[in-house]
Structure 1
Amino acid sequence: MDERVREHAEVLVDWSARVAAGDDVVVSVAEDAHDLAVAVAAALGERGANVTTLYDSEEVSRAYLKGSESRDGDFESDPAVDLAVFEAADVYLRLGGGRNTTATADVPAPVRQAYATARQGVREARMGTDWVSTVHPTRSLAQQAGMAYEEYQEFAYDAILRDWETLAEEMAEMKRILDAGNEVRLVTERDDAPDTDISMSIAGRTAVNSAASVAYDSHNLPSGEVFTAPYDTEGEAFFDVPMTIEATRVRNVRLVFENGEVVDFAAETGEDALASVLDTDPGARRLGELGIGMNRGIDRFTDSILFDEKMGDTVHMAVGRAYDACLPQGATGNDSAVHVDLITDVSRNSRLEVDGEVVQRDGRFRWEDGFA
């Protein structure tokens, strides 16, 4: 086994999930994540955790959803077995890495929406654990990223096997600024793309220093972003980083917000998939997240949100559900069955302001060399 796989497993179990002896751990294993699952199981066994494994296949999911079309997407709400699994778990580890990144492309949007809505309680129970999502580098992901397999492995491990403590210290400065702020404004002005000029309130919110560990309220490996839960969004934003949404390639998205809600939208490609997301429920037309990418180990776009949203020189916004970690105790943020991220490149002709003060210009933060 590649030694990097074992290192990945150790970072996941120790730094990210902070697994302790006696923890009940559910491990969801994608079709081609077998090697990582073996390494994770070994690490969990050494630490005295209890392990339950689940098989996570997009092709199996497609078969089930396609088979449900004849029932018009009439799904049982929050099946008791699924609820019981996650309500009993201390830790949930999702090991991504399937055979086909677009396996569910032909599942009708209404069926997707019905399934997501019916399982919202299961999703909440899963997110109530110390959960972490990661990915094993596979040939399908390499193909999606436009890389040779070995090249993609190097890329993935550069992003995953970081000095997370040092990066956490750097990101703490961005968290401090957001925690003290009231309003964020993002402006981009380019000749080759529509402008962005969007403002949102962050008063009373708590930013998350997403340093790839549940100790930081961070649940992705790799990570490397600072995010918060905005509201009262106004203005227009253009997202120029292509991505796959509902197994459909979506490119060059434009959203217009009034009174916190999307009132107009467009996409150069994949507009129907975008519309499907926005029509899921009322909360899907409001922002649930503003995130600032700070992982400079991620140096290119790969059409994988797990990596792309963490890339330095990017800002992302998610329509849909807000994360509780960003909200005051007992407060309710934006609620939705979806959480879909959209990314914009801020490496040129851009500025990010907090309360009128520029904290990032053309991708460089004010504490970095090269900030003008």
Structure 2
Amino acid sequence: MDERVREHARILVDWSARIERGDDVVLSVGPEAHELAVAVAAELGERGANVVTTYSSGEVSRAYLTSHDDDFQQGDHELALYERADAVLSLGGGRNTAAMADVPAETRQAHSKATEGVREARLDTKWVSTVHPTRSLAQQAGMSYEAYQAFAYDAILRDWESLAAQMAKLKEILDAGSEVHLVNEGTDLTMSIEGRIAVNSAASVDYDSHNLPSGEVFTAPEATEGYVTFDVPMTVNGQRVKDVKLVFEDGEVVSFEAEQGAEAIEEVLETDEGARRLGELGIGMNRGIDRITDNILFDEKMGGTVHLALGRAYDSNLPEGESGNESAVHVDLITDMRGESRLEVDGELVQKDGVFRWE
């Protein structure tokens, strides 16, 4: 086995999920993530965890959703699994990155709403999502398999403790700030972050961070005004989207357009009332990610990018007892700040042309 796979597994179990003896762990495995699953299972066994393995396939999900009558019910058996779990480790790695592309929008929305309780139960665990480098992901990124493996491990096998210390500078600025202003080509957007708590997303549940790789600082904005253009191409619900422009008034999307994939954006916005508001402002800081690969797990963490999510806000960004934006969706869209751009907090320049003032 490639030693990089074993190191990936060790980081996931120890640094990211902080697995302890006796933890009840759900290990969700994608079709092409077998090798990583073997390495993770070995690490979990050495630490004395209790493991249940599930299979996660876009093709299986498509078969189920397209054959259903859309009158979905939340399964008590699935809910019980996540309510009793201490940790959920999701190992992505599918055969087809567009497996869900032809599932009708109304079907996806109905299923998402019906299973909201399961989703909330999973989010209450020490959950971490990661991905095993696969040929389908390499193809989606336009790279050879070997080159994609090198790219992925450059992003994943980081000195996370050192990166966490660097990102703490931005967290401190956002925690003390009241307003963020983003300006670049096609973007002039302001949003309030007053009273919010920024998360130093250093790929560990101890930092309220649940993705590996990570490398971003994020918070929950509100009172959004202006317009933003997301110029980084990506896949949303199995559909390619490109150059999406959203216009906000009183915190809500009032109009939108897209060069490609307008139907996918419309589907997201029509999910529920909260889908027209922002749930997240994230600022990428992982310099180990040096290119866009059409994989949100990597792309949104790249240094010099900013992403905004339509829909659900994370509780970790909110003071105790306060509720943020609620929605059945959380869909990230990315704008590239590496050209002529400014990111300001309370009128003070924090990042110019994709470079932080302390870099």
**Range of TM-score over shorter length:** over 0.9
The residue aligned with 1:11 is 11
Q: Distance in 2 between matches of 1:301 and 1:362?
A: 17
Q: Counterparts of 1:357-368 in structure 2 under 5 Å?
A: 357-368=348-359
Looking at structure 1, the residues matched to 340 and 95 of structure 2 have their Cα atoms a distance apart, in angstroms, of 38
Query: 1:55-90 deviations in whole A, cap 9, x for unaligned?
Result: 00110000001101xx2x1101x2101100000000
Match of 1:84 among 80, 100, 114: 80
Q: Residue 75 in 1 paired to residue 72 in 2?
A: yes
Correspondence for 2:132 = 136
Asked if 1:287 is matched to 2:283, the reply is: no
Alignment of 1:53-72 (within 5 A): 53-68=53-68, 71=69
In structure 1, distance between residues paired with 2:349 and 2:71: 50
After superposition, give the CA deviation of every residue in 1:130-152 in whole Å (9 maximum; x if it has no partner): 00000000000000011000000
Q: Following TM superposition, by how much is the alpha carbon of 1:226 offset from its aligned partner in structure 2, in angstroms?
A: 0.1
Instruction: List per-residue Cα deviations over 1:90-126 (Å, max 9, x = no partner).
Output: 0000000000000011110000000011111100000
Q: Verify: 1:181 aligned to 2:172, yes or no.
A: no
Cα displacement (A) at 1:211:
0.1
SS at match of 1:107: coil
The separation in 1 between residues aligned to 2:56 and 2:106, in whole angstroms, is 22
Which secondary structure does the structure 2 equivalent of 1:162 belong to?
coil
What is the identity, as a one-letter code, of the residue corresponding to 1:223?
Answer: S
Q: Mapping of 1:290-309 within 5 angstroms?
A: 290-309=281-300
CA distance in structure 2 between the aligned counterparts of 1:279 and 1:45, rounded to whole angstroms = 44
1:173 maps to a residue whose letter is K
Paired residue total: 359
Superposed, 1:211-250 pairs within 5 Å as 211-250=202-241
SS of structure 1 residue aligned to 2:310 = strand
Give matches, 1:328-339, under 5 Å.
Answer: 328-339=319-330
Distance 2:237 2:230 in 1: 17
Query: How far, CA to CA, are the matches of 1:181 and 1:79 in structure 2?
Result: 42
- Whole-Å Cα distance in 2 between the matches of residues 105 and 200 of structure 1? 32
TM-score norm. by structure 1 comes to 0.96
1:266 aligns with 2:257: yes
Cα distance in 2 for residues equivalent to 1:330 and 1:155: 41
CA distance in 2, matches of 1:233, 1:137: 36
Amino acid in structure 2 at the alignment position of 1:216: Y
* Other structure's SS at 2:71 match: coil
Match of 2:347 among 356, 365, 371: 356
Give the aligned partner of residue 158 of structure 1. Answer: 154
Q: Percent identity?
A: 71
- The two structures, once aligned, show a CA RMSD in angstroms of 0.5
State the 1:348 CA deviation: 1.3
Structure 1 Cα separation of the partners of residues 344 and 100 of structure 2: 39
CA distance in 1, matches of 2:11, 2:94: 21
Partner residue, 1:169: 165
Alignment partner, residue 2 of structure 1? 2
**Residues 193-204 of structure 1: matches in 2 within 5 Å?**
195-204=186-195
Deviation per residue, 1:321-342 (Å, 9 max, x gap):
0000000101110000000000
What SS does structure 2 have at the residue aligned with 1:41?
A: helix
- What are the equivalent positions in structure 2 for 1:307-346 lying under 5 Å apart? 307-346=298-337
Query: C-alpha offsets along residues 248-280 of structure 1, whole Å, 9 cap, x if unaligned?
Result: 000000000000000000111110011000100
Unaligned runs of 5+ in 1: 190-194
SS at structure 2 position matched to 1:94 = strand
The residue identity in structure 2 corresponding to 1:347 is R
| CA-CA distance at 1:291 after TM superposition | 0.3
Q: 1:47 deviation in Å? A: 0.4
Q: State the secondary structure of the residue aligned to 2:338.
A: coil
3-state SS of paired residue (2:48): coil
Taking the aligned partners of 2:188 and 2:100, their CA distance within structure 1 comes to 35
CA distance in 1, matches of 2:339, 2:101: 34
Which of residues 99, 103, 112 in structure 2 aligns to 1:116?
A: 112
**Structure 2: where are the runs of 5+ without partners?**
none
TM-score, with length taken from structure 2 = 1.00
Structure 1 ranges of 4+ moved more than 2 A: none
Which of 97, 118, 126 does residue 93 from structure 2 map onto? 97
Counterpart for residue 142 of structure 2: 146
Query: In structure 1, how many angstroms separate the alpha carbons of the residues matched to 2:344 and 2:212?
Result: 28
